[in-house]
Amino acid sequence: MSHRFRPDLGWSDVTPKADFLNRRQFMASAAAGLIASPALAGLNAKPSVYSTMEKPNSRDDITQYNNFYEFGFDKGDPAKNAHLLTTDPWAVKIDGLVDRPGNYDLGDILTGAPLEERIYRLRCVEAWSLVVPWVGFELSHLLNRVGVQPGAKYVAFETLFRPDEMPGQRRRVLDWPYREGLRLDEAMHPLTILANGVYGEDLPNQCGAPLRLVVPWKYGFKSIKSIVRISLTAEQPPATWNMEQSREYGFYANVNPQVDHPRWSQATERRIGGGLFNARQDTLMFNGYADQVADLYAGMDLKKQF
Ligand code: MTE
C-alpha cells in the first residue's frame, strides 16, 4: 500500500541517536565518496520511520514547480528569481513566551540538530501534490532548546521581508511578510520539521532556503519558507492566507477531502510529474497521516475548524 509508512519499521520505533545525521559528517562522507545509498541521493541516513514509501518526485519537479509568491505568482517564477535572495548570513529571531529568546544564527540552530531524511507528501490547497525527500529536524528539538514557557499555546512564523531581493514583495499582492502559525501541540508533533535540505543537499532558494517549515498533514501553505522569526504566543497568531480570505483558507488547513474549498473540490489531487500516467488520485484524510495526527483534533468539528 503505497501511502502507508514503511512496514518494516513500527511507528513506535524511535530512530536510534546513532542514525541521526550530522550534516557536516554527511557532507564530509559524501565528499569522501563513503556513501552508497543511490535511492536517497547519497544521504547517509537510515530511512526515517516517518517517511512515506511513495517514490519521491524528481529534483526537477521539486525545484521547478513552486509556490513562493515573494518571487512571483507563476509556478516557474521562484526557480527564475529566487537566486536574487542572499541566505548567508541568516539569523532567526526567537521570541515571545520562551526562556531563552534571541537572534539565533542559522549555524547555531543547526549545530547538534538531529538531521534526518524525511520523505513526505506535500498536498497543495490547489489540488496538486508532490513527494519530497526533505532533510531536516523536528521543530520540537529547537523549541525545547529555547525553552517553551507554560503560557505558550501557539507558534507563529514569519518569512523574510526584503523587497530588494524578493521582487514579488514590491507589490502588495499579499500582506507581507508571509506569516503562518501552528497550535503548540501541532508544532511539537514529531512529524513537524524544519527542513534545511532536499535530496541530500542544501535547500535551493525556491524551496525556502535556508530554513522552512514542513507540516505534512496540512495543506502546503502552512509550510512557510525562508523563516526569520519564530514566536511563542498565548493567542492564535495571524496567518497570511487565513487573513487574506478566511472563508477559503482556515487556520488549521488540515488536508481533508470532505471539506471542499469554496471554489473547487478537495477530494482528489494530481501528482506533479506523473507524465502520461498522471491519473488523479484520491486525497487522503490528513494527507495520509491520520494514524499519527487524528488525536490532535479529537472533539473538534473539522468541517467548521477547517
Ligand atoms: N512560504 C512563503 N514564504 N511564501 C509562499 O508563497 N507558499 C506556500 C508554502 N510556503 C509560500 C510559502 C504554498 S501555497 C505551498 S503549496 C508550499 O510553500 C510550496 O512548497 P514547495 O514550493 O517547496 O513545493
Provide the sign of the torsion angle of the four alpha carbons 68, 70, 74, 77, taken in this order: negative
Helix (H) or strand (E) holding 272: none
Is the CB of 129 inside a 6 Å radius of any atom of ligand 1?
Answer: no
Name the β-bridge partners of 279: none
The best mutation among 61, 67, 215 to test binding of ligand 1, ranked by most ligand atoms within 8 Å of the C-beta, falls on 67
27 has a pLDDT exceeding 90: no
Q: How far is CA 138 from CA 48, 110, 262, in A?
A: 12, 11, 33
Number of the ligand 1 atom closest to the C-alpha atom of 65: 22
Spell out the domain ranges in the chain. 11-297
Least-confidence region, from 63-77, 132-146, 263-277: 263-277
> Can you tell me which atom of ligand 1 is nearest the CA of 126?
16
Segment 101-115 shows an average pLDDT of 96
Ranges of beta strands (E only) in the chain are 91-96, 102-105, 116-123, 128-138, 154-159, 179-183, 193-198, 201-202, 212-214, 227-233, 268-271, 281-282
What is the rounded end-to-end Cα distance, in angstroms, of the chain? 27
Higher pLDDT residue, 99 or 13?
99
Q: What is the pLDDT of residue 274?
A: 75
Residue 37 has pLDDT above 70, yes or no: no
Query: How many CA atoms lie within 13 Å of 63's alpha carbon, on the beta-carbon side?
Result: 17
CB under 8 Å to 45, separation ≥6 — which residues?
19, 20, 21, 26, 115, 116, 117
Contact 128, 176 (CB under 8 A): no
Check: CB of residue 258 under 8 Å from CB of residue 304: no
Q: Of the CATH numbers 3.40.50.11540, 3.40.710.10, 3.90.420.10, 3.40.50.2020, which one belongs to the domain with range 11-297?
A: 3.90.420.10
Q: What is the pLDDT of residues 240-262, one digit of tens each?
A: 999 999 999 999 999 999 999 99
pLDDT value, residue 47: 66
Distance between Cα 8 and ligand 1 center (Å) = 32
Separation of alpha carbons 291 and 298, rounded Å? 12
Q: At residue 1, does pLDDT exceed 70? A: no
114-169 pLDDT per residue, tens: 999 999 999 999 999 999 999 999 999 999 999 999 999 999 999 999 999 999 99
DSSP-derived 3-state class of residue 218: strand
> pLDDT over 90 for what percent of the chain?
82
- pLDDT at residue number 11: 29
pTM value? 0.87
pLDDT at res. 106: 98
What is the model's pLDDT at position 54?
A: 94
Residue with cell string 468541517: 303
- Ligand 1 centroid to Cα of residue 9, in Å, is 31
* pLDDT on residue 44: 57
| Percentage above 70 pLDDT, the chain | 84
Choice among 99-103, 175-179, 272-276 with the minimum mean pLDDT = 272-276
The arrangement of strands across the sheet holding 102-105 comes to: 102-105, 91-96, 227-233, 154-159, 179-183
- Average pLDDT of span 209-225: 98
* Nearest residue to 156 via CA among 228, 105, 246: 228
Write down the pLDDT at residue 24. 37
Strand-pair partners of 269: 281
Verify whether ligand 1 is closer than 6 Å to residue 65 (CB atom).
Answer: no
Ligand 1 mean position, distance from CA 253 (Å): 14
pLDDT, the chain, mean: 88
pLDDT of residue 278: 75
131 lines ligand 1 (CB under 6 A): no
Question: Closest Cα to atom 5, ligand 1: which residue?
Answer: 68
Residue 185, exposed/middle/buried by CB under 10 A (0-12, 13-18, 19+)?
Answer: middle
Overall residue count recorded for the chain in this entry: 306
Q: What are phi and psi of 16, to 5 degrees?
A: -60, 145
Q: DSSP letters along 109-150, please? A: HHTT--BEEEEEEEE-TTSEEEEEEEEEEEHHHHHHHH-B-T
